[in-house]
């Protein structure tokens, strides 16, 4: 706070004859009871000094010129703690996570649901790593650091290694990356070959039945369905 107030008071130093007058002038212009505002404004001014915004090509002792300060107010705002929030019981609850978790378990979740889950976990892992890298993390966030466990990191790694989101959106269904499951890779390879297999079967069936045209479709749980012309003489083939 003191460091921020000192930097703000330097804005009005040229108008004052001494330090006491400078501090008094600053207190008339800035509401020092808003300690967070003073800290934030002081930090912003120091950042502008270090980044040398607008004075990149000036001498090193030339600071970024501040021509005006605009006050932004948020009206009709009240700050309450968590216990008061619960006690009032007048606010709508946040969306619960149980619904989406149930859809994920049931296999009815859409690709967007899986991607949102992946992005949420990915962002959480990045935030957790950043907080852990701080030598003296903010006291307000100390309790939250424990949420970023190895389980969260492992979940992020598993989702990243398993799900191919680009292919999933292209096919409008969840698609796994190659190498996740050999049996799944074999089934996917067979599925990709299905058009050529159906063409070959149709040619074989057309030759066997001596038909001019023949179509073959594959229906899961049923098998191959052969479609022949309406005038085809079925009774000529006993095995039909």
DSSP string, 113-150: HHHHHHHHHHHHHHHHHHHHH-SS--GGGHHHHTTS-H
Where do the structural domains in the chain lie, given as residue ranges? 1-77, 101-180, 182-236
Digit-coded pLDDT (tens) for 87-146 = 777 666 666 677 778 888 888 888 988 998 899 889 888 888 877 776 655 565 666 666
**Token pair of 226 as six digits:** 């052969």
Tokens 């063409």 identify what position? 199
DSSP H helical ranges for the chain: 2-9, 19-29, 35-51, 82-88, 98-106, 111-133, 142-145, 150-162, 165-171, 182-192, 194-209
Digit-coded pLDDT (tens) for 160-209 = 999 999 988 988 888 888 888 888 888 888 888 888 888 887 788 778 77
Three-state SS at 225? strand
Q: Is-contact 216 224, C-beta < 8 A?
A: yes
Digit-coded pLDDT (tens) for 201-239 = 778 877 877 777 777 777 777 777 777 777 777 666 655
Q: Is-contact 49 63, C-beta < 8 A?
A: yes
Digit-coded pLDDT (tens) for 4-59 = 888 878 877 777 778 888 888 888 888 888 888 888 888 888 888 887 777 777 77
Alpha-carbon span 170 to 84, nearest angstrom: 48
Burial class (CB in 10 A: 0-12, 13-18, 19+), 4: buried
Q: Among the listed ranges 24-33, 77-86, 149-158, which one has the minimum average pLDDT value?
A: 77-86
**Token pair of 122 as six digits:** 């990915």
Please give the angle made by the CA atoms of 139, 143 and 148, to the nearest 5 degrees.
Answer: 120
**Residue 238 confidence (pLDDT):** 58
**Token pair of 84 as six digits:** 């008061």
């Amino acid at each position: 706070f003191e460091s921020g107030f000192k930097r703000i008071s330097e804005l009005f130093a040229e108008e004052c004859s001494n330090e006491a007058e400078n501090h008094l002038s600053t207190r008339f212009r800035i509401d020092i009871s808003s300690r967070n505002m003073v800290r934030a404004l002081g930090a912003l001014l120091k950042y502008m000094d270090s980044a040398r915004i607008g004075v990149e090509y000036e001498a090193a002792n030339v600071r970024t010129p501040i021509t005006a300060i605009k006050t932004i107010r948020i009206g009709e705002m009240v700050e309450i703690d968590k216990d008061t929030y619960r006690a009032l019981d007048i606010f709508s609850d946040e969306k619960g996570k149980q619904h989406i978790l149930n859809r994920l378990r049931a296999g009815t979740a859409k690709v967007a649901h899986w991607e949102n889950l992946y992005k949420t976990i990915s962002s959480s892992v990045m935030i957790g790593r950043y907080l852990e890298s701080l030598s003296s993390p903010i006291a307000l966030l100390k309790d939250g650091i424990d949420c970023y466990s190895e389980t969260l990191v492992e979940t992020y790694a598993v989702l990243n290694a398993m799900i191919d989101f680009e292919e999933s959106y292209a096919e409008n269904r969840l698609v796994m990356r190659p190498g996740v499951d050999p049996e799944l890779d074999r089934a996917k390879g067979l599925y990709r070959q299905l058009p050529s297999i159906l063409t070959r079967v149709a040619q074989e069936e057309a030759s066997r039945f001596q038909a001019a045209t023949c179509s073959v479709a594959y229906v899961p749980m049923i098998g191959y369905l052969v479609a022949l012309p309406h005038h085809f003489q079925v009774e000529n083939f006993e095995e039909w």
